[in-house]
């Protein structure tokens, strides 16, 4: 299991009340993952109902700041 996926699963397990989007934000915060890795794992791990597809560019800009 990849590092980002493992971190995500651990956060998701410890915080079942949080959405997959919030768990993903907590996963990447301060970890300095590359932009390509963040994009790839975002599409694999985050539920498509947790965010608006129209706002995807703004979401990724925000991820770069985390």
pLDDT greater than 60 at residue 31: yes
Contact assessment for residue 24 and residue 8, using Cβ atoms and an 8 Å cutoff: yes
How do residues 32-54 score in pLDDT, each as one tens digit?
889 999 999 999 999 999 998 89
Q: Is the pLDDT of residue 2 over 80?
A: no
- Pair 53, 12: CB distance under 8 Å: no
DSSP assignment letter at 29: T
pLDDT at 66 over 80: no
The predicted model scores a pTM of 0.86
Residue 1 has pLDDT above 70, yes or no: no
Q: Which residue reads 């109902």 in tokens?
A: 49
pLDDT value for 47: 93
Residue identified by tokens 């300095």 is: 32
Query: Taking the mean position of all CA atoms in its chain, how far away is CA 1?
Result: 16
């Amino acid at each position: 299991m990849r590092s980002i996926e493992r971190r995500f699963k651990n956060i998701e397990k410890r915080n079942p009340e949080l959405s997959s989007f919030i768990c993903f934000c907590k996963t990447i915060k301060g970890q300095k993952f590359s932009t390509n890795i963040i994009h790839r794992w975002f599409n694999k791990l985050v539920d498509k109902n947790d965010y608006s597809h129209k706002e995807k560019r703004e979401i990724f800009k925000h991820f770069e700041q985390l």
